Amino acid sequence: MRFVDEVEIVVQSGRGGRGSASFRREKFVPFGGPDGGDGGRGGHVIFMADAGLGSLLDLRGRAQWKAADGTAGDFRQMTGADGDDLVVRVPRGTVIRDVDEDLVICELLADGESRVVVEGGKGGLGNVHFKTSTNRAPRKTTPGGPGETRRLRLELKLVADVGLLGFPNAGKSTLISVISAARPKIADYPFTTLVPNLGVVRAGDDNSYVVADIPGLIEGAAEGKGLGHQFLRHVERTRLLLHLVDASEVREDDDPGATPLGRWRVLRDELRRYSQALADRPELVVLTKIDAVSPEALDALKAEFLAAGVEGVHAISAVSGQGVTSLSAATWERLRELAPPLAVDDPLGV
Ligand SMILES: Nc1nc2c(ncn2[C@@H]2O[C@H](COP(=O)(O)OP(=O)(O)OP(=O)(O)O)[C@@H](O)[C@H]2O)c(=O)[nH]1
Ligand SMILES: [Mg+2]
């Protein structure tokens, strides 16, 4: 399935129905008073988060979204019918922004959470409201309120507890495939992962957490190198980052990315350039592919990280399974220490 995480649409609420100008007409009642009812309200445009959706793909290809108009009032003070609301379903984590005013209207995080984004026009008043002592037969009514049009930009930021970070080929997708039921594509060439994947990891009998695997980052990602760094938005909502560094790749050159520690530093820089808030997020450093590294070399690597101020470096082999269980346990422990996920009544997380 294609993954779409940005889309622009125009939404329009319904017009209110017009009020009715009508007079009572009954046998034996020669001067029936006004009895025109009010128009119905126009339909609202409502956005609702739906946990069953994984991307904004369904919103592509239809640029115009309109709620129904209210119908006019009628005789015998009958109120017109309200226009049907238009409910637009979006994946959890969708940010809704007004393009013309350049402001964030809301974010929908929890399944079923909804928000009226454009209100329908009010119903017009029927002539029954305009009767006075001097005018017993008013013909006056008001038209319904107009519907409102808004240009919206929807941006999806996946909702996950843990984000996987690393250079291409670091082993991110392999890790998510061994700790969760996610089955992303894995291959020995860079940029295998082109769109984010989510995986649910069981922690004990009753608990689980969600991990997001994103495309690899390289030096210069902030300037658009590789796939750029826009995919970092999908780990923005996480509480913890796992920063994967391939321990088996050490080159003999002066490139800062030649060693695991060098690569870690390069990505830390890219992270800061994307967002200081994300760079401040707690992180566990995970050395990967240790089946291809001698125990002595691994010890030396860990010592290098320690000397650089990084404590508690984890080491795993997704192939042999070594270290994977203890990494999962440490991840869960850390998540429990950290603040709970963003509360729904605090949508901007500030
Ligand atoms: N020897 C060994 N190879 C591994 C291990 N984990 C992953 N690999 C291999 O490393 C290569 C890259 O793995 P991926 O999981 O696709 O890497 P990725 O970080 O998701 O890469 P991108 O999606 O390109 O960013 C694949 O050929 C994997 O088989 C490991 O623990 N040991
Ligand atoms: Mg991958």
Would the pLDDT of 349 be above 80?
no
What pLDDT does 339 receive?
67
Tell me which residue has its CA closest to atom 5 in ligand 1: 289
In sequence order, what are the residues at sequence separation of 6 or more whose Cβ sits closer than 8 angstroms to the Cβ of residue 340?
A: none
Ligand 2 geometric centre to CA of 53 (Å):
22
Residue having the nearest C-alpha atom to atom 24 of ligand 1:
191
- More confident site: 177 or 54: 177
For residue 126, pLDDT beyond 60: yes
Q: Which has the closest alpha carbon to 213: 226, 229, 194, 228?
A: 194
pLDDT on residue 131:
87
* pLDDT at res. 205: 76
Given this model, what pLDDT does residue 224 score? 87
Query: Which atom in ligand 1 lies closest to the alpha carbon of residue 320?
Result: 31
Closest protein CA for atom 32 of ligand 1: 289
Q: How many CA atoms lie within 13 A of 179 on its CB side?
A: 34
Burial 280-300 (b: 16+ CB within 10 A, else e): ebebbbbbbbbeebeeeebee
Q: What is the pLDDT of residue 3?
A: 82
At 346, the pLDDT band (50, 70, 90 cuts) reads very low
Ligand showing the shortest atom-to-Cα distance for residue 289: 1
Q: If residue 331 lies in a helix (H) or strand (E), which one and from where to where?
A: helix 324-337
Q: Which residues of 159-175 are buried (b: 16+ CB within 10 A; e: fewer)?
A: bbbbbbbbbbbbbbbbb
Label residue 349 left, alpha or beta by phi (over 0 means left) and psi (-120 to 50 means alpha). left
Percent of the chain with pLDDT over 90: 71
Distance in angstroms (rounded) separating the CA atoms of residues 205 and 347: 30
Q: Measured between alpha carbons, how far is residue 55 from residues 4, 35, 126, 240, 287 in Å?
A: 5, 50, 45, 22, 31
Average pLDDT over all residues of the chain:
90
Ligand 1 center–CA 227 separation, angstroms: 18
Q: Which two tokens stand for residue 104?
A: 């964030």
More confident residue, 347 or 54: 54
The one-letter code for the residue type at 315 is: A
Residues with a CB atom less than 6 Å from ligand 1: 166, 168-174, 186-188, 190-193, 215-216, 288-289, 291-292, 317-319
Asked whether the predicted pLDDT for residue 306 surpasses 90, the reply is yes
pLDDT surpasses 60 at 314: yes
Summarised one tens digit per residue, pLDDT across range 59-80 is 987 867 999 999 999 999 999 9
Tokens of 152: 């919206």
pLDDT tier, 261 (very low <50, low <70, confident <90, very high otherwise): very high
Top mutation candidate among 165, 174, 231, 319 for ligand 1, by most atoms within 8 Å of CB: 174
Q: Which ligand is nearest to the CA of 164?
A: 1
Q: Mind listing the pLDDT tens digit for each residue in 149-171?
A: 999 999 999 889 999 999 999 99
Strand order, beta sheet including 149-156: 64-66, 6-12, 149-156, 94-98, 103-108
CA of 181 to the centre of ligand 2 (A): 15
Domains of the chain: 1-156 (2.70.210.12), 162-337 (3.40.50.300)
Tens of pLDDT, residue by residue over 6-44, are 999 999 999 999 999 999 887 777 777 899 999 999 999
The burial class, CB within 10 Å (0-12 / 13-18 / 19+), for 345 is exposed
Rounded to the nearest 5 degrees, what angle is found at the Cα of 347, between the Cα atoms of 341 and 348?
Answer: 100
Separation between Cα atoms, residue 255 and residue 167, nearest integer Å: 15
Ligand 1 atom with least separation from CA of 213: 20
Decide if pLDDT at 54 tops 90. Answer: no
- Say yes or no to pLDDT of 347 above 50: no
Mean pLDDT, range 262-289, rounded to an integer:
95
- How do residues 196-241 score in pLDDT, each as one tens digit? 989 999 887 778 899 999 999 998 888 888 888 889 999 998 999 9
> Which residue's CA is the closest to the ligand 1 atom numbered 6?
171
Share of the chain above pLDDT 70, in %: 95
